[in-house]
Structure 1
Amino acid sequence: MDWRDGRRTAMWRPGAALILSLALGLGTDPAPAWAVTVRKTGEPELVTSWQHDACAKTDAPDTPARAFRDAGGTVHLVASHSTARALTGASLDTVRPNCTVIYQGNGGNDPRLHDDRSWISSFYTPDGRTVYALVSNEFHGDQRPELCPSGDYMRCWRNSITSAISSDGGASFRPSAPPPDHTVATLPYPYGGDVGRRTGYFAPSNIIRQGSYWYAFIWAEALEAQRRGACLLRTDDLANPQAWRAWNGASFSVRFVRDGQSGEAPGEHVCAPVSPGILQGTVRSVVHHGPSGLFIATMATVRQGVPGVWTTTSPDLLHWSEPQLLWGGSLLFRYDCSDYAAYDYPALLDPQSPSANFDDIGKTAYVYLTRLNLSKCKITWDRDLMRLPVTID
């Protein structure tokens, strides 16, 4: 879809990967008894256009879409960059851009503060007034020559997960504690500068409640004792950043520490990836499917050589079904110069969800995702927020 003369005009062209996936019959293998299937039921539609709706050049969707409803009934949809803004409206179907900045990092030069460039990307409100959030913090060593002699962004990038809080229903956020005490998850190893690749914990999923705990996935890159993959965190106290614990393969007992402060072996403070053969891409969203009682996760990844949006289901957040291809197409990290766009950040949201946090879905929903409009084979600020209607069988 695209905007032309104020009208929505179809511009979606499925990539060759979709044709290939249909020929291969991907996603058609027998599923476990507890699996469900997510199928697209129509063409994608435009939610916001960067060219027409951006509040600033850098106002582009760079995180998965997250939504919550405040105490006054206003819906907040956040899919933003490091200078975060929200779409607001009476419903998920009618949200429009709000140019008020709700959160941004402080650009701190000390990697131990975990307060450089920050992407607020996960929200949970128990009452519509207080809103808790997880933040993906990027420390850009390439901007500090004394720490990164090469000046290369990827070689010196260290990431961590921090937390923020709002006391005004999501109109504004602040760190949940003075940095670095707002830190939720960080490697137990001091920042190493020019190590040659990105390191740390990345891209928290939405926060979802199950029983007396709140859960979220994060993505871990390999470094020393930390293995690469999707790690699952949980907490019984959203107000305390240090209360989050990660799965170690047997229990939620991993306590994150900063720079080896505990004095214990660093290997005791890294997480174990969940279902590493299944969750091979960043878990962008997790929702509870009411009719089946199962959880559904979305990923933008490549499986069996096919890039696209994949879904997988679970009864307990730890055991996941073989992923099924929902839509095949070019991705942010996997596209050809002949493509006119690439895609990422798929997240399931149901406008009719009874939850204030939109973490429950029914038989129909939308997969929100970012379309990155390519210019001479390059990613630019020109990005649109799209949504694809789906049904859950």
Structure 2
Amino acid sequence: MSIQFGRRQALGLAAGLATSGLAAPLVARAQAAPVKIGLVALASGPAASLGNHLRDGFQLGMRHLENKLGGRAAEVLLIDDELRPDAAVTKVRAALERDKVDAVVGVVFSNILAAIMRPVTESQTFLISTNAGPSPFAGRGCNPYFFATSYVNDQNHAVMGKAAQDAGYGRVMLLVPNYQAGRDSVAGFKSEYKGTIVDEMYTPLTQMDFSAELARIAAARPDAVFTFMPGGLGVNLVRQYRQAGLANIPFLSAFTVDEASLPAQGEAAIGFQTGTTWTPTLPNEQNARFVRDFEAQFNYVPASYAAHAYDAAMLLHSAIGKTGGNLADKAALRAAIKAADFRSVRGRFAFGANHFPVQDFWLAKVAQRPDGKFQTEHVSKVYDNVTDPFAAQCRMPAG
């Protein structure tokens, strides 16, 4: 699918307006250079499916917007961060300095976001994360050029901490990758869970064999296991968990069983629980259209990575429209982004003082649909219109 509004159509529109005697400002807008968006979407390695969801969600948004943002033609430059901070910085700097992108959008993993944060924001370019949400950027590290359409990393994990607490699980084991988002997940879970943590296991971000960790779980026999293993890590863990005969120990997670991983996990994931901002089954008109058109276009069930990226396209469209297509006035564009005047697939959506969403959070579980496909389905609302716990630490610097 093309994500570029043709220059020929723009020039033709300008000529038509000029001969019809319509106002010159409209002609100037039609001839304006396209809005350029650098879309950072992981496309390499075992976690590439997450980046594919992100990319396709944003592309569907652009398709629904006829490849325009705020009335201006738009171009999207795809950037594969390779899950390597050095590669991400090099490619993003090129997009800023050579391609002159007007905004950078995307990012799956928090270590990549941390790497590109300074080069993007110090160039006074807006950075919109559609997935990664490390807690430092929600608190003291908040930035006038940074917004997130996703969440703070801790929040989805806090949902599962509350679920474990409410279920009366007295002894829980934790299993997460050893990087910022993994540590955030533990902090989020512990913020709501008051029982006994039997063990905390931290693994390399590239680990695919969990036999040693599963043996420790089998020996300890906890009341439940909480884990955060995104992408290919989650695929292997879920399969190995079932194969190890541990399915009788409740499997609580976030970003481990979702639509990016479920096609590979299949029946092994049925009934496993997750904390989330969004599911394909949330009952609102915008979400129904998004899920229907996404499946028709890409032939798979979207995950939250896609939903948050779709919302980012709609957010940019609304903001650029509010400024009349003027991207030079950074203060006006910032205010327009913060207004969040668009219809989210999540329903209610607003930005807090730290530029992170104020939104609902859900407990969901994996189910198989009548057509054989797998998806997460919302079970109950855990947090209603909640602000993340770090917003109070944010003292937004002038910019």
TM superposition score category, shorter chain reference: under 0.3
Larger radius of gyration: 2
Please identify which structure carries the higher strand content: 1
Q: TM (normalized to structure 1)?
A: 0.27
Please identify which structure carries the higher helix content: 2
